[in-house]
Amino acid sequence: MNSQTQEFTISGSAGLLECRLDQPQNSPRGIALIAHPHPLYGGTMDNKVVQTLARAFIAVGYLSVRMNFRGVGQSGGTHDAGHGETDDMALLHAHMSAQYPDLPIALAGFSFGTLVQSQLQQRLLTQEKPAQRLVLVGSAAGKWAMPSVPSDTLLIHGEQDDTIPLSDVLDWARPQDLPVIVIPGADHFFHRKLHHIKQLVIDYWHP
């Protein structure tokens, strides 16, 4: 994302996993793990929505960490329909927790990445160490069986998303009484609307 981006790998069950970390200017006050869209449809950690989320978290003083899921870029293995990808994100969570044990960890994802992060949050809840907050952009509700998420989840969706219709997201959110922030005129990839995502995250964190 910039000249200061640090690249590293962690060992997953399917092979090495390619990761990148971006630091805020001052001492970090948290860590954000960011999950990318569907690997079989061109999703990578360099996706523009993923990078927008990374920039937003840097702006609020968080370390921003991205990972290429198995089978993407230099990461080993093959796509595993969200199961192995959740395992891989759990390993990244454990790795960053060990590196920075005193910092809270937020989970953020775009599209397929929202499935991974919501599944990871369920695991963390059963371990009684939930993530600080979730940010789900272009939620995968309706495409996959999304688990419930905490009531303080920041849920952002495009009004004109034709990949994951807004109506499907509302059907998933309604039983949870979960607010959905709708970006008027936005498509699935938030073309010309990325600035809204960044500002919503910044406002939500109140740095």
Q: Give the model confidence (pLDDT) of 17-43 as tens digits.
A: 999 999 999 999 999 999 999 999 999
How confident is the model at residue 207, as a pLDDT? 58
The whole-chain average pLDDT of the chain stands at: 95
Q: Give the model confidence (pLDDT) of 40-77 as tens digits.
A: 999 999 999 999 999 999 999 999 999 999 999 999 99
Rg (CA), the chain: 16
How confident is the model at residue 27, as a pLDDT? 95
| All domains in the chain, ordered by first residue | 6-205 (3.40.50.1820)
CA 55 to chain centre: 13
How confident is the model at residue 4, as a pLDDT? 80
Longest dimension (CA), the chain: 44
Q: Give the model confidence (pLDDT) of 83-111 as tens digits.
A: 999 999 999 999 999 999 999 999 999 99
Q: Cα angle at 122 between 57 and 46, to 5 degrees? A: 35
pLDDT at 1 over 60: no
How confident is the model at residue 3, as a pLDDT? 61
pLDDT at 147 over 90: yes
Q: Which residue has the tokens 């004109």?
A: 160
